[in-house]
Amino acid sequence: MAVKVFISYSHKDEPLRDSLAAHLSGLEWEGIISSWYDRQLTAGTEWDDKIKAELESADIILLLISPDFIASKYCREEEIPRALKRHESKQAYVVPVILRPFHWSDTPFAKLQAFPKDAKPVTSWPNQDEAFLSVTQGIRTAAKLLLDYRRQQAEQKKANRAQYQQKVEEFLQDGKGEISWIDQDTLDELAEELGLTIEEAEAIQSQARELYERYKANLEKYKRTLIRSIQRGDDPSNQETKRALERRQRDLGLKPEDVARISKPILDQAELDEQAKQQRLAEAQKLQELELQRQRQWEEYRAKLEHYRQEFSKAVEAEYPLHPAALENLKAFQHQLELKDEDVEAIATPILAAKQAEYERQQSASVDLGNGVILEMVKIPADEFLMGAATGEESFYDDERPQHRVKVPEFWMGKFAVTQEQWSEVAGLPKVKIDLNPEPSYFNGAKRPVEQVSWDEAVEFCDRLSRETGKSYRLPTEAEWEYACRAGTTTPFSFGETITPDLVNFNGDYTYGNAPKGAYRRQTTDVGSFPANAFGLYDVHGNVWEWCADQWYGSYANKPDLLKQNGAIAWT
């Protein structure tokens, strides 16, 4: 920080003051000093208060001595006494600068070292620049001495504070965060010895307490990390785990001895727990082997059931209604596989029901959207079904509970998800409420489902189609959609207990139930690429999500009875 220099002078010596200021500008440029004199006052400033404030805060006060300076009442009665008082109290360094000849040996400041050299007046020098150079050199020396003194004082102050803080930290450590009155007496004596004020000592203690509590909290954080590491199954003796814990220790700024102290009981307990675990595993091994044997038997039986389901499905697809000879063949196949009647019935019932529904279903309706683009609709029969996720079903959400029965009237639904070419044709129709982007999809393809479409845009699509055809098109209610998706089944999927990437376009890296992993295509696929459900609808699982007419509710608990009696009414 630069040394502040205050220049006291008579305005009649202003030209000489300007010359001095020019010479001092080099020291200001170097950052050694910053000078102030009254011509720097701004308009509207209380000049007397400002002058006194600058003088009282100055480190060096220059008295520009001349007959006019002494003759100035303000300089003589205000500035000189204040300057000398600060000099005597060692708050500032007063330097007389003799500008013009004057008998000043009897003045109060005569005992002070004056400049230029030998106190020779500036105007008496053949070259006044040399005179001001002498003044500047003297001020430079004084300023540097003052800066050095400040630096030494600051370093000593820093060392004293560090010594005091170290003692505070020792007492806090010994007292587990508290300082006894006896230790406080020691600290008070040390603060006085080191020249610390009461406020400074209290601030250091407050900071030390804060650091202690933070360190204590960091120890707890490390302890939690170690416990979590063990709970996750990490081996504390593993080199990678050790390095990770050492990084955690460094990041928290903890001492090795403190970490060792809090870690020992945790590691000891972890070792005991591991021993108990191994003992339990040994005791349970026989039971586990029996369970594995039962599981293998069940897997074999389930594979037989799946084999039967496939053969039954092939038979129904090949011929419906089934010929008696085909039924006899299926019965013989059941006996060959040693399948229970009730399990065979559970397989046959939904397949026959779906085939019967398909057999009886009227031909699908279609809408010509132009340019060879057709929108196919499928008639969905009226019925009652159990809506929501069943108890024990894997990966259900709260908004799928509780299960409840819903009656659904007959309605028509699109055979496929709306394709990009269908969307583009309808988007070209006149607007009803909002504009439609004809090509919003991220994965492009005429036969791929349209995506990146909002609910409002889906409603606009239906409204435009309704106005164009004179028929009513809308989004299905949630009940209609789930009913159509299930297609008479009660399993988690319309295809059965699980799905695979051969049946549905989804992330095959993740499985449902005991299904094997499969392909993950990372993009949508053309509609109709996978098998339809029993109602003849495609892609009701996977590919893209579908919009429904209902608002979202977190649970079915408060669903109105009217909506249960008529699934065609949206819950809004």
Q: Average pLDDT for consecutive 10-residue bins of the chain (572 residues)? A: 91 94 92 88 80 90 93 90 91 92 85 90 94 92 85 84 81 74 81 83 82 82 86 83 87 86 85 84 85 89 91 87 84 91 92 77 74 94 94 83 96 96 98 97 97 98 96 97 94 89 91 86 96 93 95 93 96 94
| Residue 447 buriedness (CB in 10 A; 0-12 / 13-18 / 19+) | middle
Given a contact cutoff of 8 angstroms between Cβ atoms, the answer to whether 54 and 36 are in contact is: yes
Region for residue 565 given its phi and psi (left: phi exceeds 0; alpha: psi -120 to 50; beta: otherwise): alpha
Give the largest CA-CA distance in the chain: 143
Give the pLDDT confidence score for residue 260 in this predicted structure. Answer: 87
Give the pLDDT confidence score for residue 462 in this predicted structure. Answer: 97
Residue 526 CA to its chain's centroid (Å): 37
Query: Residue 7 pairs with which residues in a beta bridge?
Result: 62
Give the pLDDT confidence score for residue 391 in this predicted structure. Answer: 84
Phi, psi of 377 (to 5 degrees): -120, 145
Give the pLDDT confidence score for residue 369 in this predicted structure. Answer: 94
List, in order, residues 6 or more apart from 423 with CB less than 8 Å away.
Answer: 436, 438, 440, 450, 453, 461
Give the helix/strand (H/E) hosting 164. Answer: helix 128-174
Give the pLDDT confidence score for residue 360 in this predicted structure. Answer: 56
* Domains present along the chain, CATH in parentheses: 3-154 (3.40.50.10140), 278-360 (no CATH), 362-565 (3.90.1580.10)
- The count of residues in the chain is 572
Sign of the CA dihedral running 21, 22, 23, 24: positive
- The C-alpha atoms of residue 37 and residue 60 are separated, in whole angstroms, by 12
Given a contact cutoff of 8 angstroms between Cβ atoms, the answer to whether 477 and 569 are in contact is: yes
- The C-alpha atoms of residue 1 and residue 147 are separated, in whole angstroms, by 8
Give the pLDDT confidence score for residue 559 in this predicted structure. Answer: 94
Residue 63 CA to its chain's centroid (Å): 62
Provide the pairing of β-strand 33-36 with 3-8.
parallel
Q: What is the DSSP letter of 95?
A: E
Given a contact cutoff of 8 angstroms between Cβ atoms, the answer to whether 404 and 482 are in contact is: no
Provide the pairing of β-strand 93-98 with 365-370.
unpaired
List, in order, residues 6 or more apart from 51 with CB less than 8 Å away.
Answer: 38, 41, 78, 79
- The C-alpha atoms of residue 304 and residue 298 are separated, in whole angstroms, by 10
**Paired tokens of 41:** 């006052």
Distance, first Cα to last Cα, the chain? 70
- Residues 83-86: contacts with CB within 8 Å, 24+ apart? 83/6, 83/8, 83/55, 83/109, 84/108, 84/109, 86/55, 86/56, 86/58, 86/61
CB-based burial, 100-121: b 16+ in 10 Å, e otherwise: bebebeebebeebebbbeebeb
**Paired tokens of 160:** 């004293």
Cα pseudo-dihedral 40, 43, 49, 53, rounded to 10:
-30
Provide the strand spans (E) within 388-499. Answer: 404-408, 411-414
- The C-alpha atoms of residue 534 and residue 485 are separated, in whole angstroms, by 9
Coil vs helix vs strand at 217 = helix
- The C-alpha atoms of residue 498 and residue 511 are separated, in whole angstroms, by 8
List, in order, residues 6 or more apart from 387 with CB less than 8 Å away.
Answer: 403, 404, 405, 406, 479, 482, 483, 556, 567
- The C-alpha atoms of residue 350 and residue 133 are separated, in whole angstroms, by 110
